[in-house]
Chains A and B, each alone.
Chain A
Amino acid sequence: MQSRRASRAGALKHSEKITKPSVFVDTHAAASNQEAKSLFAFKTDDDVRKVYLAGREYLNEQGQPYVSPFIGKIKRRLSSDQTLGSPHPSSFGLAEFNHRATEAVLGKKSSAIVENRVLGIQTVGFTGAVRLGAELLRHWYNGDTACQGPVYLSSHCDDSLAGVFQAAGMPDVRQYRYWDAGRRGVCVDGLLQDLETAPERSVVVLSASAHPTGADLSREHWALIARLMMRRQLFPFMLLPVAGLCHGELERDAWPVQYCQSLGMELLCAQSFSHCFGLYGEHVGHLLCVLRQSSVLLAVRSQTERLINALWAQPPVGGARIVATVLSNPAHRAEWQEGVWHMAARCMLVRERLREKLRLLGTPGCWDHLTQQTGPYCCTGLNVEQVEYLSKRKHVYVLPNGCLNVSAVNSCNLDYVTEALHEALSAEPLS
């Protein structure tokens, strides 16, 4: 059939088509990332006891991503609401969502909001927020139209972060010390030293809460870090990937952002509402930009719009509409807030149970950090060999750096998981 068409067009010899190499011949297969490998191994593992603790989503007691019946109700109501037309498309997304999201992070009485030097942008999820922030820095940071960095990421951070900055054109990604394996907490001295020696004006990515290790900075730490950063003109890019799940309240989780803003710092903050609303598939992200002067707001806004137009034109409206509807209605908000407290509380409960079980088993190591920290993530301190042992011998999957998602632990698998951890930490290394 193809040769018939070829002769009809009179253009191409059949032989030419099949012997010509593909235009994609030089495209090599991408190395699959750790998370994908881990997930694949889990999916193909047919052991009935298998447990996956390496995911990002908050799972309920039944091991399912949290789906709030309340949110389902709101969704159904919105789907039958005839008055909802397509609003004027805006690159920045839904205005009401941005208003609420910005307030949630900075607090209603924030001087930055009052002085009109804040830009809030609805983005395509958390990654979209980080990417947009990176693009903004790359093109406009300190008048450099092609800023390469340096961008400092904490040790044990999400392994996709570096790639996002690099994709935005900032290849100079470095690391600062964060997780202290010995003390099972933040290595503050190391962190401060690394920031002290970072080149002035470096971008520093900081977890406002829910660091992947579960170890978050205390208020005292923030006071030290903020002062150092101001002195050395380091730029804070703050992360709130699971806003609300550490302390059960958006504003409480965002305290570090409010603190830095109150000191007069300029900053970017990427946050996600996917977790606290159970809207993973809807990608409700937000990028906050706090400026020192309101006089640059319009220019920054216009340039950000250009960047958005070349990335995704405008963000999807569905999830943002749900979040805006809930956050702007006091009754809805109260009902939703109950759900968030419940999630945060359940994380704390699981942490307590894990700690207690590990203590009873006499598992080597100190486990106090489990209950001293909050939120869905924690670091077990397992090394690479022990992580492998855990997955291969016990069919329990954690991240390669030993971090895991506590919400994936429930009454059905708690015993098995703690016994597996115990075994991995006590066993001889795999040869």
Chain B
Amino acid sequence: MSVFRDVTQAVPVAVFKLSQDFNNDQDPNKVNLGVGAYRTDEGLPWVLPVVKKVEKVIAHDDRLNHEYLPILGLPQFRSSASAIALGAGSAAVREDRVGAVQCLGGTGALRIGAEFLRRFHDGSNNTQTPVYVSAPTWENHNAVFASAGFEDVRSYKYWDAQNRGLDLAGFLGDLETCPEHSIFVLHACAHNPTGTDPTQEQWMKVAEVMMRRRLFVFFDSAYQGFASGDLDKDAWAIRYFVSMGFEMFCAQSFSKNFGLYNERVGNLTIVARDPDNLQRVLSQMEKIVRTTWSNPPSQGARLVAITLSDPALFEDWKANVKTMADRVLLMRAQLQAKLQALGTPGTWGHITQQIGMFSFTGLNPQQVEFMVKERHVYLMASGRINMCGLTTKNIDYVAQSIHATVTSVQ
């Protein structure tokens, strides 16, 4: 008898199942609007030109050996990655109170940050400390914090389905009534899955309450550069919170903005009150990393570090990021225009108001099912679509499909 005989089948991860179903679909018109990765107008993954350039440089550099990296990762990567989030002129960086841990993608950064908080945040055992994630949020947020030992993962109000926008009153209400020292996971920009970000004024209100009620700020920044095409603009919220004196974590992913999905390049940026606190935190982070993956892989981090530290390559990269962001903006504009031209019932302004890779179409589960089964257009049950799945070739079909769906299914 197997020692694993009692293992139950796990519910498949929705987005992977969707991709699988899409792959198995034989319909020639099929469109995949589920996956969370950038695609070109040809529907292909895009290796950024700057990445190809730097990869060759690395492959031909004989001085680079394959030695283990330090536990916390490549120093040049860590500092340049944190600088991208906090800004080149960041006072916090100058004051030596910013540190970082190179991690395995955004997921790894969230996990290491979560493991630290569970051990040290508010006393030595935080298994009961509430962790708040937005309603809705990236489904893996729940899994990461739960796996790190947090038993009380809750949601804070965020998406107002009725008005298709931010439920600010609900959000602020949850901030006011939650237990002190609760941990809040905030999306730095391009909220996944709604594409709806707080405005600057709204962020200021959020910050005021969080500071007053001593809530812990944990930013998830997976789309810097992708939202508006401008790195600094997309980092405004993070920088505002830092300037307000928050101590915080920021999990950064370079999967999307560098197209390095498979290299697992992430960074956990830590902002502490002073260098002394920072050092103690980093020493504990080392212990946690050592028992998780020992030290991180070097290839992706080296690539990012080289790119960010060379002025010409940095400009190349920013241009590549803008290319991706611009294509998304174009698809947004075109989809909205086509739906309006078709006279599709409902308001579609949210398609261009929302920001980043994703859009919450507002289609209900029945409509989503129709889209998938009858039209072979694959999207998440929540109505979330990945704008990158749209191309000039399939956008008409998608617009017509939405139109057909909304007019025949209520």
Residues of A within 8 A of B (CB): 1-2, 5-6, 9, 11-12, 17, 20-30, 32-33, 57, 64-65, 67, 72, 75-76, 78-80, 85-89, 124-128, 131, 140-143, 160, 163-164, 166-169, 201, 235, 266, 278-283, 291-293, 296, 298-300, 302-303, 305-307, 309-319
> Knowing A279-B66, A281-B299, A314-B264 touch, does A22 contact B3 (C-beta < 8 A)?
no
Interface contact B144-A142, CB-CB below 8 Å:
no
| Chain B residues, Cβ within 8 Å of A65 | 65-67
Distance in Å from the Cβ of A93 to the closest Cβ of chain B? 9
The distance in angstroms between the C-alpha atoms of A66 and B212, with both chains bound, is 55
Q: Which of B7, B115, B204 contacts A9 (CB 8 A)?
A: B204
Interface contact B280-A29, CB-CB below 8 Å:
yes
Q: Is B297 an interface residue (CB 8 A)?
A: yes
Can you name 19 A-B residue pairings with CB atoms under 8 Å? A2-B91, A2-B245, A22-B277, A25-B277, A26-B123, A27-B284, A29-B283, A65-B65, A86-B262, A125-B295, A127-B294, A164-B291, A166-B291, A168-B291, A283-B294, A293-B5, A299-B8, A305-B10, A309-B13
Q: Which of A6, A76, A313 contacts B104 (CB 8 A)?
A: A313
Closest to A90 in B: B16
Among listed B52-60, B363-371, B394-402, interface-contacting one: B52-60
Which of A282, A283, A292 has most chain B Cβ within 10 Å? Answer: A283
Interface contact B261-A300, CB-CB below 8 Å:
no
The distance in angstroms between the C-alpha atoms of A279 and B298, with both chains bound, is 10
| Chain A residues, Cβ within 8 Å of B123 | 26
Residues of B within 8 A of A (CB): 1-10, 12-13, 19, 23, 37, 44-45, 47, 55-56, 58-60, 62, 65-69, 91, 104-108, 111, 115, 120-121, 123-124, 140, 143-144, 146-149, 204, 207-208, 211-212, 214, 216, 243-245, 247, 259, 261-264, 272-274, 277-281, 283-284, 286-288, 290-300
| Chain A residues, Cβ within 8 Å of B10 | 299, 302-303, 305-306
Interface contact B4-A299, CB-CB below 8 Å:
yes
| Chain A residues, Cβ within 8 Å of B262 | 86-87, 89, 314, 316-318
Interface contact A88-B19, CB-CB below 8 Å:
yes
Interface contact A140-B4, CB-CB below 8 Å:
yes
Task: Apart from A235-B3, A293-B1, A307-B147, list 9 A-B contacts with CB within 8 A.
Answer: A12-B208, A32-B283, A64-B65, A89-B261, A128-B293, A131-B291, A131-B292, A142-B6, A143-B6
Interface contact B290-A127, CB-CB below 8 Å:
yes
Q: Which of A17, A57, A305 contacts B13 (CB 8 A)?
A: A305
The distance in angstroms between the C-alpha atoms of A21 and B111, with both chains bound, is 26
| Chain B residues, Cβ within 8 Å of A319 | 297, 299
Interface contact B68-A57, CB-CB below 8 Å:
yes
Interface contact B65-A67, CB-CB below 8 Å:
yes
| Chain B residues, Cβ within 8 Å of A313 | 104-108, 140, 264
| Chain A residues, Cβ within 8 Å of B66 | 65, 67, 278-282
The distance in angstroms between the C-alpha atoms of A5 and B242, with both chains bound, is 11
| Chain A residues, Cβ within 8 Å of B140 | 309-310, 313
Interface contact B59-A292, CB-CB below 8 Å:
no
| Chain A residues, Cβ within 8 Å of B208 | 9, 11-12
The distance in angstroms between the C-alpha atoms of A32 and B284, with both chains bound, is 9
| Chain A residues, Cβ within 8 Å of B274 | 22
The distance in angstroms between the C-alpha atoms of A131 and B147, with both chains bound, is 13
Interface contact B300-A316, CB-CB below 8 Å:
yes
The distance in angstroms between the C-alpha atoms of A75 and B211, with both chains bound, is 49
Which of B58, B290, B294 has most chain A Cβ within 10 Å? Answer: B294
Interface contact A11-B280, CB-CB below 8 Å:
no
| Chain A residues, Cβ within 8 Å of B111 | 310-312
The distance in angstroms between the C-alpha atoms of A9 and B19, with both chains bound, is 45
Interface contact A27-B7, CB-CB below 8 Å:
no
Q: Which of A128, A293, A300 contacts B292 (CB 8 A)?
A: A128
Interface contact B104-A312, CB-CB below 8 Å:
yes
| Chain A residues, Cβ within 8 Å of B146 | 310
Interface contact B288-A167, CB-CB below 8 Å:
yes
Closest to A23 in B: B247
The distance in angstroms between the C-alpha atoms of A335 and B123, with both chains bound, is 56
Distance in Å from the Cβ of A274 to the closest Cβ of chain B? 8
Interface contact B108-A281, CB-CB below 8 Å:
no
Interface contact B67-A280, CB-CB below 8 Å:
yes
| Chain B residues, Cβ within 8 Å of A296 | 2, 4-5, 7
Interface contact B297-A283, CB-CB below 8 Å:
yes
Closest to B19 in A: A88
The distance in angstroms between the C-alpha atoms of A300 and B5, with both chains bound, is 9
Interface contact A24-B292, CB-CB below 8 Å:
no
The distance in angstroms between the C-alpha atoms of A305 and B9, with both chains bound, is 11
Interface contact A167-B291, CB-CB below 8 Å:
yes
| Chain A residues, Cβ within 8 Å of B216 | 23
| Chain B residues, Cβ within 8 Å of A318 | 262-263, 297, 299-300
